[in-house]
Amino acid sequence: MQASHIHLDFNVPWRKPDK
Protein backbone atom coordinates (compact mmCIF):
# COMPACT_ATOMS: atom_id res chain seq x y z
CA MET A 1 0.00 0.00 0.00
CA GLN A 2 3.05 2.25 0.17
CA ALA A 3 3.04 2.62 -3.59
CA SER A 4 -0.38 4.23 -3.32
CA HIS A 5 1.00 6.94 -1.06
CA ILE A 6 3.86 7.63 -3.45
CA HIS A 7 1.50 7.69 -6.43
CA LEU A 8 -0.48 10.46 -4.76
CA ASP A 9 2.66 12.46 -4.15
CA PHE A 10 3.46 12.27 -7.86
CA ASN A 11 -0.07 13.23 -8.82
CA VAL A 12 -0.10 16.22 -6.49
CA PRO A 13 3.48 17.51 -6.12
CA TRP A 14 2.10 20.92 -5.22
CA ARG A 15 -0.22 19.51 -2.56
CA LYS A 16 2.33 17.08 -1.00
CA PRO A 17 0.47 14.74 1.39
CA ASP A 18 1.49 13.84 4.96
CA LYS A 19 4.74 12.30 3.68
pLDDT for 1-19, tens place per residue? 565 555 666 666 666 666 5
User: What's the rounded Cα separation, in Å, for the pair 19 and 8?
Assistant: 10
Half-sphere exposure of 8 (CA within 13 A, CB side): 9
Half-sphere exposure of 5 (CA within 13 A, CB side): 5
pLDDT at 5: 58
Average pLDDT, the chain: 61
State if pTM tops 0.75: no
The share of the chain scoring above pLDDT 70, in percent, equals 0
